[in-house]
């Protein structure tokens, strides 16, 4: 029996619905809403708004969330543990001064060893700081640096996507 196009498309739509492809309303690929809120607060402390946009405005959390499904996939359990430790203290709801104080303690390895392990949170702090900087200064096509805010701040022209120069340059060869 030949599979007709209409039946094939209907079967594909049913399979997608059964797999849950279209049932989620979350903007996050791997983070929960509470994890994303906690991580967003951490990133906003690390690169705050001044005369220029900060990590929150650059969408750094979207970069980290995306990379936790790709390049940083092996770090997902670590992030879950770190964000749970911060979430238990309601990090996102703390005043800015207390958030900064807690992050400074983690940077020095002075966090609660029961929650953070023998390094007192130093590894967590350094990893999140590195990923925050990558999301803030990296290419917008990887999920962070929304609207190239850090490049504009630095006076760096936005780099064209490879293979698109002819399409973006009206004078270019097609």
| Average of per-residue pLDDT across 138-145 | 91
State the pLDDT at residue 88: 87
User: Residue 2 above 80 pLDDT?
Assistant: no
Q: 93 or 3, which is more confident?
A: 93
Whole-structure pTM value: 0.78
For residue 143, which of 44, 26, 61, 39 has the smallest C-alpha distance?
A: 61
- Contact, 14 vs 68, CB < 8 A? no
User: Residue 17 above 60 pLDDT?
Assistant: no
Residue 52 binned pLDDT confidence (cut-offs 50, 70, 90): very high
Q: 70 or 19, which is more confident?
A: 70
By CB atoms closer than 10 A (0-12, 13-18, 19+), residue 50 is exposed
């Amino acid at each position: 029996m030949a599979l007709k196009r209409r039946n094939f498309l209907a079967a594909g739509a049913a399979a997608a619905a059964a797999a849950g492809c279209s049932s989620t309303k979350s903007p996050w690929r791997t983070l929960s809403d509470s994890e994303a809120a906690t991580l967003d607060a951490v990133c906003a402390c690390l690169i705050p708004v001044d005369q220029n946009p900060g990590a929150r405005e650059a969408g750094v959390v979207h970069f980290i969330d995306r990379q936790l499904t790709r390049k940083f996939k092996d770090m997902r359990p670590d992030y879950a543990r770190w964000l749970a430790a911060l979430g238990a203290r309601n990090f996102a709801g703390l005043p800015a001064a207390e958030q900064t104080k807690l992050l400074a303690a983690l940077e020095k390895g002075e966090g609660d060893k029961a929650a953070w392990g023998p390094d007192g949170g130093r590894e967590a702090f350094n990893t999140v700081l590195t990923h925050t900087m990558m999301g803030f200064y990296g290419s917008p096509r990887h999920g962070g640096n929304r609207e190239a805010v850090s490049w504009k701040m630095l006076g760096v022209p936005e780099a064209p996507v490879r293979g698109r120069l002819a399409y973006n340059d009206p004078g270019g060869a097609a």
